[in-house]
Amino acid sequence: MATHLRDHAEVWAHDRAAIGDFDGVVPVDLDRAAQADVIVLAVPVQSFDGVLEGLRPHLEERARAGRGLPLVVDVASVKVRAVERMVRGLPDAASIIATHPLFGPESGRDGIAGLPIAYCPVRASEERVASLRGFLAETLRLRVIETTPDEHDRQMAYVQGLTHLISRAVGEMELPQTPMATAAYRRFLDMRANLAKDSWDLFVTIERENPYAAAVRRELRATLESLEARLDAAG
């Protein structure tokens, strides 16, 4: 996302692993990052507590100096637990809007206009909610889908949880490349190849940090067992 944001705003990044400039983004220390008008948490949701613990003292110092607190936005793949961590870890005066760009680097490689992003206002003024929504929809030209963290995770348990689970499982199998492959089989291989590019950490986040994903996994197992039983009964 930084690649697309830098055309419209100065983008700073605090990354303990980053050395020097990268992609036109300016690396800064945590104190300077905390002075930004908008802070984007672009880390795995499992890392939120540690990041927010480090960020909070700088925000509290900013508040004591009489400077207004920023809008904090996340881009995690799950929303319920991300929001819980942000509400718990940020000062009460900090505004919070949770988002989830529903595309990856490959999908946005040639531009992000028209791609979807989930948008979950949590704790922010109407002005801030409308301003960020307008930036996403009108400047970045994303398709903004306003929802709640709970509804987001309920739907993503299928949209992401199920697809990643099946693709990860199939990826563990030895599937043949064959000249007899049908179009449906080739699409299946393509899906497996695309999702195989995602990290194990992302897979763990999608499956373990979404409170509804476990139920979908149980539903899938029960469905497979039912189909197996029906096949056995068919003789």
Same domain, 24 and 122: yes
Domain CATH number, residue 122: 3.40.50.720
Question: What's the pLDDT at 18?
Answer: 55
Residue 25 phi/psi, 5-degree rounding, is -100, 135
Domain closes at, from 147, 173, 199: 147
pLDDT tens-place values along the chain, 235 residues long: 667 787 888 889 897 565 455 667 888 999 999 999 999 999 999 999 999 999 999 999 999 999 999 999 999 999 999 999 999 999 999 999 999 999 988 788 889 999 999 999 999 999 999 999 999 999 999 999 999 999 999 999 999 999 999 989 988 888 889 999 999 999 888 888 887 778 888 999 999 999 999 999 999 999 999 999 999 999 7
Q: Distance between CA 59 and CA 88 in Å, rounded?
A: 14
Question: What's the pLDDT at 110?
Answer: 87
Domain with 183 in it: 152-233
User: Could you give the number of structural domains in the chain?
Assistant: 2
Residues 6+ apart with CB under 8 A from 9: none
The alpha-helical segments, DSSP class H, found in 65-125 are 80-89
SS3 label, residue 145: strand
Q: Distance between CA 221 and CA 162 in Å, rounded?
A: 11
Q: Distance between CA 6 and CA 8 in Å, rounded?
A: 5
Same domain, 119 and 6: yes
Kindly compute the dihedral angle of the four CA atoms of residues 5, 42, 15, 132, in this order, to the nearest 10 degrees.
Answer: 40
Q: Distance between CA 188 and CA 191 in Å, rounded?
A: 5
- Partnered with residue 10 across adjacent β-strands are none
Domain closes at, from 102, 119, 147: 147
Tokens matching residue 60 = 């509290």
Same domain, 141 and 219: no
Instruction: Quickly tell me which residue has 């000062």 as its tokens.
Output: 91
Domain closes at, from 121, 147, 173: 147
Which amino acid, one-letter code, is at 29?
D
Q: Which helix (H) or strand (E) holds 191?
A: helix 183-196
Taking Cα atoms as reference points, which of 43, 4, 10, 45 lies closest to residue 28?
Answer: 10
Q: Distance between CA 136 and CA 83 in Å, rounded?
A: 20
Question: What's the pLDDT at 16?
Answer: 58
Same domain, 112 and 156: no
Beta strands in 110-231 (DSSP E): 116-123, 143-146
